[in-house]
Amino acid sequence: MNQVIFISGTPCVGKTTLASELSKRLGANLVRVNELAISNDLVLGIDNKKGYKIIDIPELDVVLGEIIDNFDSDKLLIVEGHLSHLCNGADKVIILRVHPSILEERLAGRKYSDSKIRENLEAEALDVCGAEAYEAYGEDVCEIDVSDLSIDETINLVVDVIFDKKDFPFGVIDFMDWLIG
């Protein structure tokens, strides 16, 4: 098998839930980028204006690269986190997308500030994670609109992507109507 799959996307699109269930179903190893950054002291500080942790991305890339280089080549490695697509080493990058109207409810449910909600909604509408991933990985990026999918439906689609049974190319999902509407 020997595949490294990165799962990324805007906060609250379902990355963590998907990665947990997917790793159980496939017997894959799972690396959570946020935990990796914290456990390796890669948090440089907090952006006081936005409330985000500032992560040392180049050093995160080095630490993740060491994990990937030392990974058992007969297994599947899933790397989950909204910064994962900024690192190297993926065979495929899967970007989860959610319509901003649904995402807004999820972000509010997590008690995000109004400014943080707005920033994340705009990032989702503009497909910031997808564009960044495509810049680094090109055709190895898939985007799946999980707005109306159950976790099982999402898992099935992602499994199909991993095993080359389906493809969801970058640039097909368009939430710009939300932004300009």
Query: Per the annotation, where are the binding residues for ATP?
Result: 14-17, 110
**Beta-carbon contacts of residue 171 (< 8 Å; ≥ 6 apart):** 127, 130, 134, 143
For residue 11, give the 3-state DSSP assignment: coil
> Burial level of 12, CB count in 10 A (0-12/13-18/19+)?
buried
Per the document, the length of the chain is: 181
Q: 160: closest CA among 105, 92, 97?
A: 92
**Beta-carbon contacts of residue 16 (< 8 Å; ≥ 6 apart):** 32, 80
Residue ranges of the annotated binding site are: 14-17, 110
- Residues in a beta bridge with 97: 145
Region of residue 164 (left: phi > 0; alpha: psi -120 to 50; beta: else): left
- Residues in a beta bridge with 169: 142
Element (H, E) at 39: helix 33-39
